[in-house]
Chains A and B, each alone.
Chain A
Amino acid sequence: MTVAPWICRSCLSRISRPLIRQRLRYQSTAACKVSTSESISPALLARARSIAREHKGLADKLANGFDARSAKKLGEHGGVVSTLKEWEKANESLRELTSLIHDPTTDPELLSLASEDLATTRTQLADASQSLTTSLVPVHPFAHLPCLIELRPGAGGSEAAIFAGDLLRMYQAFCNRNNFRATLLKYENADGTTEAGVPLSEAILEVESGGAYGLFRCEAGVHRVQRVPATETKGRTHTSAVSVLVLPSVQENSLGEEDFEDPESDYYIDPKEVRVDVMRARGAGGQHVNTTESAVRLTHMPTNTVVAIQDARSQPKNKEKAWRLLRSRLAQARREKREEEMAAIRRSVVGVAKMGRGDKVRTYNWGQQRVTDHRSGTTVHDLDDVMEGGQTLDKVMESVRSWLMERDVEAMIAEETDAKK
């Protein structure tokens, strides 16, 4: 009879676990999961194909007559279509190569050539699917706009205020290095003056270059700092937080009334979307009646906005007036919608409860000289360069942008599968 020797319980449980535990930051694994492989999600591919079809239709349409809106769309879709073509080409050659390799009748010399080619084609395919994914990601509607960066100290008292000042200098240095025009719209100290160097209570930095919002969008959130503050006497490490708000800055003058030919403008209306009704004479018309009806009614079909004007005896004058009124009404509606969207952005970025140390997006740790972004899971160790707005900051921001893009792609795929159901 063999008696099993006594084994301690913790050793027993040790057996079931792998000897070397993988050290992973689970929060940060998303970065290496998506779109590094050469495969591409079927939903995304279907979307790319439908875009290519639409593109073809638009090109045919534009061959017959110019239309500002379709021309704009065509330009937006051009990138997707060309990358899809590239991807399909790479896919095709990969399939041919694999069939060649698996075919037993292939000549050995050809086989060695094919297997050589296989590796390059694989990388080509991976590149193509990567760029296809990138080109399919919807561009943020405000990405082309300049932006406002608002910094406010959160939890952590005066140390948070000092760190807010550090962050402000970091962004200013970053703009300087990249030749962005940045102006300080507002700078307020903890003691209510505008004297620099003192802990700040609020600062608003405007980056006036186009596309700044797309660049700085990834910075919004709570930035956490872990260091021994200058105000600390006993050498303890404190953890404080600064909230950073990034908002698109919409210039009112760029959307003036005079440029209603520009599709970007609030005042732009596609004439094809408007139904014009003129009051017709009853009966035979022409010489048979002399009507004084001059009323004009415009209906903007997408929004169902109706404008009717009958003041003047001249029909063209009424029509002109009706168009003006319709333009300003639609512009008003659009402006309100945009303001609502801005308010939504503001709310989503900074809920009042979300100002704490827990909901951080990035940590600056002085003790370890490291900066970790918790969304993309990137860690860099050149803290000084980051605080000087150097290239290390570029690296971090870049990683967050690609993380955001992946979120967007996932959301889009989910949306599309939802739409299919």
Chain B
Amino acid sequence: MPRISNALIRHARSIDKLLPPLLRPCRELRAAQNELRWLREHAAKVASTRNAKVRDTLLRNLVLERAKGKPLQYLLGSEYFGDLQITCRPGVLIPRQETAASVAYLARLVRQAEELPPELRVLDLCTGTGCIPLLFHDELAATRKDVRSRYLGIDISRDAVHLAHYNLQKVWRQKAYADKSVTAFVQADVLIDPFDDQNAGMPCFKAALNHYRQPPFWDILISNPPYISPSGYWSTTTRSVRLFEPELALLPPPNPDASDTERGDVFYPRLLSIAQHVEAKVVLLEVADLDQAHRVARLAQDADFFDGIEVWRDWPDQPNDAEPVELDGFPVIGQGNGRYVLCWRAQGAPWLGKDVVAKAETEPLSHYSLQPTFIYRPPSKIPL
């Protein structure tokens, strides 16, 4: 990282003496000025009844903490996620703008669909602050009064589940929704296979669904799992992320056998198998970059469960202005880094405004067994 020039520091000091420390995390004068303004507003709000001296001390302390790299979102206690103000606390990952862009884009696609199930169920794995279900509901409820929706967020961290509940109450109080949607957050470990021995302390995802009496089938699965590989953690993340945000939310758990990239991808096979379990019609998974998007898309294709796969960049609502427009047969849309992999099945295609593509596969007769097979296909809607 290039050094900040002395001239810039002098210039910043001439504007405000609190600006030079903020230049360290912000790198740019304009960004530093914005942050100082927000910190000052925050200090004025927190210490509104106190005298000016207390307020100045508070502001100085905030600026010094920020200079050490503590994320502004933790200092101010909130981050804007789409239209929502989501509370942030140390120990839980701060919601990212790119996530908001993609989730809002998906929700806007879905809310334009002509026919939606009477109860639309959205499952969010590794939910963190709970921002994804809350934003999805906010976008859906804005135009679709006819659709009841149910949301479930799952996270392994107790703090995250608590914070998600807090955010749920806060957002519902602020927005005063009138619809009959249900949102819940439960603690569970997504990575534990329900068919393994259950000897860990944390319940597996399936057990949690049963225990909290949640329906077994879900229409849309969204996940922003830990996806950074160990080498990427030390090379591509910023200092503020490494020092202050929870490693649990960024790095998949250690596994001595796996290579570096394999460790970054640990979550995706599990997420895709859960998608099959819950019969998800639309699956949206966040990834680190186009390479990982490519690997995940390939994985989804190999699962032979989806009828369409697409890669979204950071801002999927913008027209794609960079190469590649197609990644190994998967269309790439939007602007920015590769960020999301979207998979859908035939039932979910009309919700996304996609054409249903009939699978043109003719399996050779030798693949069919002459033995009668009993496949139990549960109806997609179970009365609760």
Contacts and interface: CB of A to CB of B under 8 A. Distances in A.
Interface of A: 276, 278, 280-281, 283-294, 310, 312-317
Given A292-B34, A293-B31, A287 B250 contact: yes
B318 interface: yes
A290 B94 contact: yes
Contacts of A287: 93, 96, 224, 226-228, 237, 241, 249-250, 286, 288
A278 B335 CA distance: 10
| Residue in A284, A288, A291, A317 with the greatest tally of chain B CB atoms within 10 Å | A288
Interface string B28-41: 00110011001000
B83 A316 contact: yes
Interface residues of B, number: 44
Q: Which of B85, B100, B237 has the most CB of A within 10 A?
A: B237
Contacts of A310: 30, 34
Contacts of A313: 38, 76, 79-80
B160 to A, nearest CB: 14
B249 A315 contact: no
A286 B34 contact: no
Contacts of B241: 287-290
A278 to B, nearest CB: 6
A316 B72 CA distance: 19
B151 to A, nearest CB: 21
Contact of A290 (B96, B224, B337): B96
Contact of B288 (A288, A293, A294, A316): A288
List the 9 shortest-distance A-B pairs measured between CB atoms, nearest first: A314-B80, A284-B236, A288-B237, A290-B71, A289-B238, A288-B236, A292-B72, A285-B337, A290-B94
18 contacts: A278-B97, A281-B98, A284-B237, A285-B98, A286-B286, A286-B288, A287-B226, A287-B237, A288-B238, A289-B240, A290-B71, A290-B240, A290-B245, A313-B38, A314-B85, A315-B100, A316-B80, A316-B83
The secondary structure that dominates the B interface is: mixed
B73 A290 contact: yes
A285 B336 contact: yes
A280 B336 contact: yes
A322 B227 CA distance: 34
A286 B72 contact: no
Contacts of B314: 280, 285-286
Interface string B166-204: 000000000000000000000000000000000000000
B240 A316 contact: no
Contacts of A314: 80, 83, 85
Contacts of A285: 96, 98, 314, 336-337, 339
Contacts of B96: 285-287, 290
B90 to A, nearest CB: 12
Nearest to A293: B31
A421 B126 CA distance: 67
B71 A288 contact: no
B218 interface: no
A288 B30 contact: no
A287 B318 CA distance: 21
B307 interface: no
A292 B286 CA distance: 20
B65 interface: no
B232 interface: yes
Nearest to B35: A292
Contacts of B94: 290
Interface string B146-173: 0000000000000000000000000000
Given A283-B236, A286-B286, A290-B240, 13 more contacts: A283-B238, A285-B336, A286-B314, A287-B93, A287-B226, A287-B288, A288-B228, A288-B232, A288-B237, A289-B237, A292-B31, A313-B38, A316-B80
Nearest to A317: B80
B337 A284 contact: yes
Contacts of B35: 292
Contacts of B228: 287-288
A294 B100 CA distance: 13
Nearest to B85: A314
A291 B34 CA distance: 12
Contacts of B99: 286
Contacts of B31: 292-293
A9 B100 CA distance: 100
B279 interface: no
Contact of B97 (A284, A288, A315): A315
A273 to B, nearest CB: 13
Contacts of B93: 287
A281 B76 CA distance: 20
Nearest to A320: B83
